[in-house]
Amino acid sequence: MNGRLLLIAGAIAGIMSCKQQDQVVVKERSPRQEFPGLFEQVQHARIFADSKTLADCAPKTSPADVLQAYAKEKTAPGFDLSKFVHAHFYVPAAATSGYVTDSTQDVTAHIESLWNVLTRMPDTINARGSLIALPEAYVVPGGRFREVYYWDSYFTMLGLKESGRTDLIESMIKNFAYLIRTYGFIPNGNRTYYLTRSQPPYFSLMVQLLVEAKETHKQEILTHYLDVLEKEYQFWMKKPAQGKTDGHLVVLKDSAILNRYWDRGDWPREESWREDIATAEKSPRHTAVYRELRTGAESGWDYSCRWFEDGKSLETIHITDIIPVDLNCLLYNLEMTLADAYSMKGNTVKSLQYESAASVRRDAILRYCWDAKSGFFRDYDFRKDKMTPVLHLGGMYPFFFGIAREGQADSMTTVLTKEFLYPGGLVSTPVETGEQWDAPNGWAPLQWMAISGLLTYHKDSLAGEIAGRWSKQNIRVFRQTGKLLEKYNVKDTTLAGGGGEYPNQDGFGWTNGVLLKILRMQQQGLLKNGKNIDTL
- Residue type, position 423, single letter: P
Is the pLDDT at 97 greater than 70? The verdict is no
Model confidence, pTM: 0.92
Separation of alpha carbons 153 and 135, rounded Å: 16
User: Is residue 90 predicted with pLDDT exceeding 90?
Assistant: yes
Q: How confident is the model at residue 530 (pLDDT cuts 50, 70, 90)?
A: very low
Contact yes or no for 154/202 (Cβ under 8 A)? yes
CA distance 156 to 23: 27
Give the residue among 310, 512, 305 at the shortest CA–CA distance from 393: 305
Separation of alpha carbons 444 and 513, rounded Å: 9
For the ranges 23-27, 281-285, 367-371, 384-388, the lowest mean pLDDT is seen at: 23-27
Q: Which of 162, 232, 302, 371 is catalytic?
A: 302
The per-residue pLDDT for 406 is 86
SS3 497: coil
CA distance 441 to 427: 5
Q: What is the average pLDDT score of the chain? A: 91
Give the pLDDT score at 159: 97
Distance CA 357, CA 355 (A): 5
Contact 349, 357 (CB under 8 A): no
Asked whether residue 20 carries a pLDDT value surpassing 60, the answer given is no
Residue 105: pLDDT band by 50, 70, 90 thresholds?
confident
Which position has the higher pLDDT, 24 or 211?
Answer: 211
Q: Which amino acid is at 436?
A: Q
534 is catalytic: no
pLDDT in tens, 283-333: 998 999 999 999 999 999 999 999 999 999 999 999 999 999 999 999 999
| Residue 23: pLDDT over 60 | no
Angle, in degrees to the nearest 10, between helices 107-118 and 509-523:
140
Please state, in angstroms and rounded to a whole number, the distance separating the CA atoms of residues 412 and 377: 8
Mean pLDDT, range 3-20, rounded to an integer: 35
Q: What is the mean pLDDT of residues 86-112?
A: 83
Cβ neighbours, 10 Å, residue 63: 18
Please state the rounded mean pLDDT for residues 431-435. Answer: 97
Give per-residue pLDDT as tens, 156-179. 999 999 999 999 999 999 999 999
Q: In this prediction, what percent of the chain has a pLDDT beyond 70? A: 92
Query: Buried (b) or exposed (e) across 435-467, using 16+ Cβ within 10 A?
Result: bbbbbbbbbbbbbbbbbbbbbebebeebbbbbb
| 246 touches 354 (CB < 8 A) | no
In angstroms and rounded to an integer, the radius of gyration of the C-alpha atoms of the chain is 24
State the DSSP string of 316-373.
Answer: GB-GGGEE-HHHHHHHHHHHHHHHHHHHHTT-HHHHHHHHHHHHHHHHHHHHHHEETT
Q: Are 485 and 508 in contact (CB under 8 A)?
A: yes
On the question of pLDDT at 274 being above 50, the answer is yes
Whether pLDDT at 399 is above 70: yes
pLDDT at 244 over 60: yes
- Model pLDDT for residues 325-345, shown as the tens digit of each residue: 999 999 999 999 999 999 999
Question: Residue 175, Cβ neighbours under 10 Å: how many?
Answer: 23
Band the pLDDT of 6: cuts 50, 70, 90. very low
User: pLDDT value at position 24?
Assistant: 52
Q: Tell me, what's the pLDDT at 126?
A: 63
| Residues present in the chain in total | 536
Neighbours of 204 (CB within 10 A): 26
Q: Catalytic residue at 486?
A: yes
Which of 444, 424, 465 is CA-nearest to residue 512? 444
Give mean pLDDT, residues 273-280.
97
> Residue 317: beta bridge partners?
308
Q: How many CB atoms lie within 10 A of CB 500?
A: 20
Q: DSSP characters for 116-141?
A: HHHEEPPPPP-SSSSBPP-SS-EE--
Domains of the chain, CATH where assigned: 5-94+106-229 (1.50.10.10), 390-536 (no CATH)
Identify the bridge partners of residue 138 per DSSP, sorted by sequence position. Answer: 120
506, 142 contact by CB (below 8 A): yes
Confidence (pLDDT) at 180? 98
For residue 476, count other CB atoms closer than 10 A to its CB.
Answer: 16
Contact 297, 197 (CB under 8 A): yes
Band of residue 21 on the pLDDT scale cut at 50, 70, 90: very low
Rounded Cα gap, residues 241 and 441, in angstroms: 42
Higher-pLDDT residue of 244 and 387 is 387
Identified catalytic residue from 315, 486, 501, 506: 486
Sequence-distant (6+) residues with CB within 8 A of 174 are: 135, 136
Predicted pLDDT at 25:
64
Q: How confident is the model at residue 95 (pLDDT cuts 50, 70, 90)?
A: low
Could you tell me the CA-to-CA distances from 517 to 157, 373, 482 in Å, in that order? 10, 35, 20
Q: Is the pLDDT of residue 474 over 60?
A: yes
Tell me what pLDDT residue 217 has. Answer: 85
Residue 287 CB burial class (10 angstroms; 0-12, 13-18, ≥19): middle
What integer is the mean pLDDT of 512-528? 95
Check residue 197 and give its pLDDT. 98
pLDDT band at 14 (very low <50, low <70, confident <90, very high): very low
Can you name the residues that pair with 142 across neighbouring β-strands? 145
